[in-house]
Structure 1
Amino acid sequence: MKKSLLLLAFAVVATVGNVKAQTTWDFSSAAWPIISGETAKVKNNLALVPGPETVVNFGAVEANTATFSDGYSASKRFKLNGGGYTSTGVNTTPTQRYIYFKANGNSSITIWYKNGGAGDRTLYIGTGTAVLASKTYSNSQDGIIYTYDYAGPARDIYIYGDQSLNIYKITATNVGNTVLGVNDVKKDMKATVYTNGNKVVVSNLESKNTEVNVFNANGSLVKSMTTSTDANFELSTKGLYIVNLKSQAGEKSVKVLIR
């Protein structure tokens, strides 16, 4: 009997601990008032990153009613208002319109959301440089509840879409202290990237130690370098490439073609 009581007490404590370990971002709550857009910041321990200064409608919270299959009823929604990367970017690396939080390790993540328009749209959960999970959904009328169980070391967990998505609620376990990264306050760069034959030319750099990463059409990294001056390099294989530049001056991705 005593052993059974001890086991029951342990189970109750474990259950309470698990409940306490869950963080909820409910965009219908008073913690998320109606707003037309957000600047880069950490709000309610959730990092909000619009990206370039030209993005002004990311993070809009507006009145909207929705009921989900688990019975959750929402009265407001958080709008990404666009994809997490540009037409010249890659889906592994969000550069705009993304959110993230710090996970202290293994974390169970659930997102209640709707597509922001018609057609197939994809929700991504990633590390900032790699996709951990994705969900493609075509119905913009009915909401979806998507759960992903992250298993790994402590890191920031990124959430974004390939197009506009409307998020109603997020829950996650084992959440730490979210800190906005220096590179998340982005500016548009003046640097230019173009091709000359089989060479890629990078010019008009404004900052020292500019990171240059080149990805092929499949999203694989084919070249990485750091430069403080104008530079050029050869790509021996013909095809389409994405050149990503990152420095204190900002970040920029450019699509180039080697013929």
Structure 2
Amino acid sequence: MKKLLLSVIVAGISAIQANAQSKTWDFSDAVKFPAGAISATTTIDGLTLIPGGSNLTISTTNLATFGDGYTPTQRLQFGGNSYSGSNNPAVGSTSMPTRRYVQFAVSNNATIKFWARGGGSGRSVLISDDTGKVLSSTTFNGSTVTDIAIGSYTYTGTPTNLIISTGSGDNSVYKIEYTDNSTLAVGSARLLKARIFASGNRIYISDLESKNSQVSVYSAGGNLVKSLRAATDTNFEIAAKGVYIVNVSSEKGSLSEKVMIR
């Protein structure tokens, strides 16, 4: 009976993990994103908010109505530039944000869409990869019409963490959508060669076939609890006991394993 119950649980977790890639983070969801300052790095439903010593804020003021009919009731206010000084890095340049940004894991084919508002002329919202390379920049001119934008970017490459940050000025994002564009059916992707196992409160990944792999660890509820890049054998601690799904993916394929942290 216990084995049957465990099989049902594992099947449920696998289904959640397979669908966990596509996400919508609507900052109007006051349950997930209660109004107020965010002063410490916080992960909510797979989205990591990083203040970096300067507060991010969930605000209920200065709202907007977008051309698609979306009418938010809250916004994520960056509160200032994400970079040193008032840097506004150009597309193609590399500059890691140091404060006031968000990040999330993506697959090798994804569409990112966000609803944003600028705080003045020449201000921008940027999408970067986890090296800080700027992939997309949406710039506002400060007028009452074009300071509101629905930005979109299609990512193709190896699995990574994408970063959304603010260039010059104090800009706001109201909603972020991430859509996994992978066209392979579940189970048809090539299996990556690697060993994934747990011992005590640590997860181990060894015999890694690819030296450029994305590791994502999901809880039984489907939430992303840890994300990292791996170029060689690695191990790391998971504090909370329970069942987790570990996904390792690269250009060579992907592999998911269930592990138990005791």
Taking structure 1 as the reference length, the TM-score comes to 0.56
Q: Aligned partner of 2:120: which letter?
A: A
Q: Is the 8 A contact 1:125 1:160 kept in 2?
A: yes
Alignment correspondent of 1:165:
171
1-structure distance, mates of 2:120, 2:178: 28
Alignment correspondent of 1:239:
none
- CA deviations on 1:155-214 (whole Å, 9 max, x unpaired) are 000000112111110000239636377xxxxxxxxxxxxxxxxxxxxxxxxxxxxxxxxx
Q: Is the 8 A contact 1:101 1:178 kept in 2?
A: no
Shift of 1:88: 7.9
Q: Aligned partner of 1:121: which letter?
A: R
Identity %: 29
Shift of 1:72: 0.9
| 1:68-87 correspondence to structure 2 within 5 Å | 68-87=66-85
Q: Aligned partner of 2:121: which letter?
A: G
Q: Is the 8 A contact 1:106 1:150 kept in 2?
A: yes
Shift of 1:120: 1.1
Larger radius of gyration: 1
| 1:151-230 correspondence to structure 2 within 5 Å | 151-162=156-167, 163-174=169-180, 177=224, 179=226
Taking structure 2 as the reference length, the TM-score comes to 0.55
Q: Is the 8 A contact 2:112 2:155 kept in 1?
A: yes
Paired residues in the alignment total 160
**Structure 1 spans left out of the alignment, 5+ residues:** 1-17, 182-259
2-structure distance, mates of 1:60, 1:27: 7
2-structure distance, mates of 1:124, 1:178: 24
Alignment correspondent of 1:50:
51
Going from structure 1 to structure 2, the CA distance change for 1:27 and 1:88 (only over 3 Å counts) comes to closer
Q: Is the 8 A contact 1:27 1:169 kept in 2?
A: yes
SS of residue matched to 1:73: coil
Going from structure 1 to structure 2, the CA distance change for 1:167 and 1:51 (only over 3 Å counts) comes to same
SS of residue matched to 2:35: coil
Q: Aligned partner of 2:24: which letter?
A: T
1-structure distance, mates of 2:77, 2:43: 16
2-structure distance, mates of 1:146, 1:159: 11
Q: Is the 8 A contact 1:102 1:178 kept in 2?
A: no
Alignment correspondent of 2:126:
124
Shift of 1:64: 4.5
Shift of 1:66: 1.8
**Structure 2 spans left out of the alignment, 5+ residues:** 1-17, 90-94, 182-215, 217-223, 229-262
